[in-house]
Amino acid sequence: MADSKIEQYLIDLTLSYQQIGPNLWLLDDEEQSLHGVAVMQAEPLVIVRAEIMDVPKNNVLELYTKLLELNATDVIHGAYALENQKIVLLDTLEYDTMDLGELRAVLDSFSFALIQHYPILSKYREKAASAETAGA
């Protein structure tokens, strides 16, 4: 039996995960494309977060524009955000009213974004790496 509603839902969804702290789970489910997605209970919220990449040194305005476009047209649940020079995918749910279907929808949205947006966003990572290499 799981210790919390969140853990029980992760079990019900047959996801691979580790509990890495009190009220904190790290998903490591390659089959569902949910590698490195954190789920944290911070009453009264449940925070679902995935670190996407560091903010590049070059082409930042272009990247931010692309992230805003993806937020508006392609991210079903949650949004891309900035946190300490990192680009993250983030969503919050209310713990008391969250049900299995709601958590599943958020995780499905994250899975879709991580798969579909990787080729788009990795171009900015490559541009930053190429520019730094060229300057060295």
d(Cα 124, Cα 59) in Å, to the nearest integer? 7
To the nearest 10°, the Cα dihedral for 91, 47, 111, 72? 10
Looking up residue 43, the CATH number of its domain turns out to be: 3.30.1460.10
* Amino acid type, 45: L
Give the pLDDT confidence of 19-41 residue by residue, as tens digits.
Answer: 999 999 999 998 889 999 999 99
Average pLDDT over residues 115-126: 89
Average pLDDT over residues 109-130: 83
Q: Is the pLDDT of residue 90 over 70?
A: yes
User: Count of domains in the chain?
Assistant: 1
Domain region containing 107: 5-135
d(Cα 110, Cα 39) in Å, to the nearest integer? 12
Range with the poorest average pLDDT among 52-61, 67-76, 85-94, 121-130 = 121-130
Give the pLDDT confidence of 37-78 residue by residue, as tens digits.
Answer: 999 999 999 999 999 999 999 999 999 999 999 999 999 999
- Note the pLDDT of residue 125: 83
Facing residues of 19 across strands? 25
Average pLDDT over residues 93-119: 96
Q: Which two tokens stand for residue 28?
A: 């490591």
Residue 38: its H or E element: strand 34-42
